[in-house]
Amino acid sequence: MKLTGYEDLRVQRTINSIYHAFEELICEKEYPKITVKELAQRAQINKKTFYRYYPTLDDLLHEMQAQYAKEFIEEVKDYRYPDDLDKEIAAFFEFSAKQGEAYDRITVSAGDSSYTGIRREMINEVMHKTWDNHHPLT
């Protein structure tokens, strides 16, 4: 669920609780083994509450990926490719270092094949958006 900033404080807390529980579970197990039931228990919400905001776990994951990508793209929006490639690479490593374990698990876990496709989608989104920013269609 995309937060607009106008949500009730209870809604914001619920979404934050869902995110926090999801990040914990990502750090503990392979993505396909995470269930809505387990997530709801961890977030201390009802399953219906989860489904009010997210149709599936995949939707929650995609929202999390989009948020990571958006934050990184915001950091490098003023860089120009290829002139600032070194700066972009440095910014990526600095950005990655500031993120938590769930980000590491999704983006760099070499030994966990359940996150390979997720990682690829996230990288493609960032590359596509940064390329579009640097080379807009005329």
Cα(21)–Cα(44) distance, rounded to whole angstroms?
A: 9
* Total of domains in the chain: 1
pTM of the model: 0.74
CATH of the domain at 45: 1.10.357.10
Domain carrying residue 114: 9-134
User: Is residue 2 in a domain?
Assistant: no
User: Is residue 1 in a domain?
Assistant: no
User: Is residue 3 in a domain?
Assistant: no
User: Is residue 38 in a domain?
Assistant: yes
13-40: per-residue pLDDT in tens?
999 999 999 999 999 998 889 999 999 9
Cα(120)–Cα(78) distance, rounded to whole angstroms?
A: 24
96-134: per-residue pLDDT in tens?
889 988 988 877 654 555 565 555 666 676 666 666 655
Q: What are phi and psi of 35, to 5 degrees?
A: -115, 155
